[in-house]
Chain A
């Protein structure tokens, strides 16, 4: 984080305990964290509290819509389509992984296979790269 400006991340995660850990660590890493457990609320917050530099997206979310619906919405909006999206999910459905990649998300992580800091490092790195 070489710049003075803090980066903002939108975190969409349905599990409270995980959400707490994620939020805490991103804050520790110098981020602003906007979070939501639900796609519609997420979009609303994005609108209201945005812009954001990166999105952390879980697949299973509260409510009927899932992460895929969110990405479709994001990617079809000229304002948000260029925001890097990192899908961090424990779901194993291959179809969804393929769909996410096809929609142009930056990376897909199987949550339990990574330490939190590993993912945060990757996100920081990719934001740095984008700047250059």
Chain B
């Protein structure tokens, strides 16, 4: 508009000045008019170009505005999105986080979170490297989409797991331009994953354990089933849960016939009522019980004697099962009875001729059959002495047999211990004098009577003291110590005798063992004395040990606990 007005003004001016300019030379007018028209055209062209440019600019502006508006609207929209979204302008590094993203992590929608804060404070420092790698992989084109799982710090300081998914947009050169990422809170899923993993691990271990238990149970069942002992598993009410094949064979009953029955029904017919009562009581009390006199009734009406053992099985302190193990000991009992009877009979049968030899030798020596000359007397005395040794040997063998069988009679009485020792020393006086041995007694002032079998105590002392005397050379010394301390009797028998060689010491308490040096001194010993002492001391719940050096001497130490006085029969 202005240009047009300007052109008009110029034209009018030219018209006025044309007269003067072109009067002299009219050719110049032609040039001038042509130039003028050319300029007019140029100006018009210029004008339209300017106008076009203006329009283009206007349009561009318009587009930019639209873009800006749309971006603003988008940013507004993004910030308003409840889903976790962030928009990353890769070139500038700027990131816009949606309100949903912020909310996800406990931040306020208006809280200012930028890329710097994101990378340096929010992403877990252990995950930054991994995240960068994931992004880079995608930018490099190695992955189709950007996907990552990583931890971020929420507002309250606790970490959450996010799963990102996005696709990069690139510029015309293929360089990463921008990426919009959707983030989802997968903390729950992750926790579930971890829980699942640890659960799976737990289950794997438990499974292994179970397999092992099953294996053990199988092995156990195999052991139970292949045992020749009869085995029963009972429930807590006494009903039979399981029986092994041995029991089926022994009783003639099938498992199916016994299942659910109360276990005592197998015994009630033939077992003594008192014993049955004791078993029931033990069961009710949850106590173990053993007996060698239970009689089991068989299906065919027969019966057999059983060595019966009842055990409670506990788990976490509560009884969950009982086990009954039984062994048919009919044979054993018969053998036992036979052995005892044999021992009794042997004792009688062996000793009778020995008595005859003794008494007849005695009578001959007394001159009952006529006066004997010196030599006859001497030889007869040998016979008599040898016979005495034989009698002692038989007595010892019988004692050992009965101790082994457990049939050695125990008669407890209140016994004065020092008195027993004194009588033994007195009995052994002949040998003490003969060898001129010095016997020192160190008895404590006050030794309480013990509730003990005096016969057995005598055997202990007799063996120890006579050994000391036997193996000590002439003019040697024996000392005997007796004292009581903390409810126990302490006995020490020390000698200056031949001692026990070190390499033979471990066998000293075994049956029939005699050390070489002892054999040299006295070829007639039985090797049973110390065995008997050991068994008796053990029966009294005591202990015995010794210290010895060859050619120096030995000391035997015996400890016997004071026994419960209740068991003593007050006899006079």
Interface residues of A (CB under 8 A from B): 15, 17-18, 21-22, 24-25, 28, 60, 89-95, 98, 110-113, 115-117
Contact = CB atoms under 8 A, between A and B. Distances in A.
Interface in B397-420: 398, 402, 409, 411
A17 to B, nearest CB: 5
Contacts of A110: 351
A7 B230 CA distance: 65
Nearest to B401: A92
Interface string B359-382: 110110010100000000000000
Nearest to B398: A92
A117 B366 contact: yes
Given A92-B398, A93-B344, A113-B391, A18 B359 contact: yes
B352 A90 contact: yes
Contacts of B366: 117
A11 B158 CA distance: 110
Main secondary structure of the interface of B (DSSP, over half): helix
Given A92-B398, A92-B402, A60 B368 contact: no
A6 B235 CA distance: 77
A117 B368 CA distance: 12
A92 B347 contact: yes
A16 B220 CA distance: 64
Contact of A116 (B351, B352, B362): B362
Contact of B362 (A15, A17, A93, A115): A115
A26 to B, nearest CB: 12
Nearest to A97: B409
Contacts of B363: 21, 24-25, 116
A116 B358 CA distance: 8
Given A92-B402, A113-B391, A116-B362, A21 B348 contact: no
Nearest to A16: B356
B224 interface: no
Contact of A90 (B343, B351, B368, B402): B351
Contacts of A21: 356, 359-360, 363
Contacts of B394: 112
B276 interface: no
22 contacts: A18-B355, A21-B356, A21-B359, A22-B359, A24-B368, A25-B368, A89-B348, A90-B352, A91-B344, A92-B347, A92-B398, A93-B344, A94-B409, A94-B411, A98-B409, A98-B411, A112-B358, A112-B391, A112-B394, A112-B395, A115-B359, A116-B362
5 nearest CB pairs, A to B: A94-B409, A90-B351, A92-B347, A116-B359, A112-B351
Nearest to A21: B359
Nearest to A113: B391
A86 to B, nearest CB: 15
Given A24-B363, A115-B359, A117-B366, 10 more contacts: A90-B352, A91-B347, A95-B409, A98-B409, A110-B351, A111-B351, A111-B352, A112-B354, A112-B395, A113-B391
B348 A60 contact: yes
A28 B368 contact: yes
Interface centre among A17, A92, A95, A117 (most CB of B within 10 A): A92
B343 A92 contact: yes
A4 to B, nearest CB: 25
Contacts of A115: 358-359, 362
Given A24-B368, A117-B366, A92 B358 contact: no
Interface residues of B, number: 23
A111 B353 CA distance: 11
Contacts of B409: 94-95, 98
A15 B352 contact: yes
A17 B348 contact: no
A113 B366 CA distance: 18
Contacts of A95: 409
Contacts of A28: 368
B316 to A, nearest CB: 48
A122 B442 CA distance: 35
B268 to A, nearest CB: 30
Contacts of B360: 17, 21
Contacts of B344: 91-93
A53 to B, nearest CB: 22
A9 to B, nearest CB: 16
B62 to A, nearest CB: 132
A60 to B, nearest CB: 6
A111 B402 contact: no
Nearest to B350: A90
A28 to B, nearest CB: 7
A31 B398 CA distance: 35
A18 B362 contact: no
Contacts of A15: 352, 356
Contact of B348 (A22, A91, A113, A116): A91
A105 B85 CA distance: 116
Contacts of A98: 409, 411
Contacts of B391: 112-113
B463 to A, nearest CB: 17
A28 B366 CA distance: 12
Nearest to A96: B344
A24 to B, nearest CB: 7
A17 B366 CA distance: 18
A90 B348 contact: yes
A89 B345 CA distance: 12
Contacts of A17: 356, 360
Contacts of A24: 363, 368
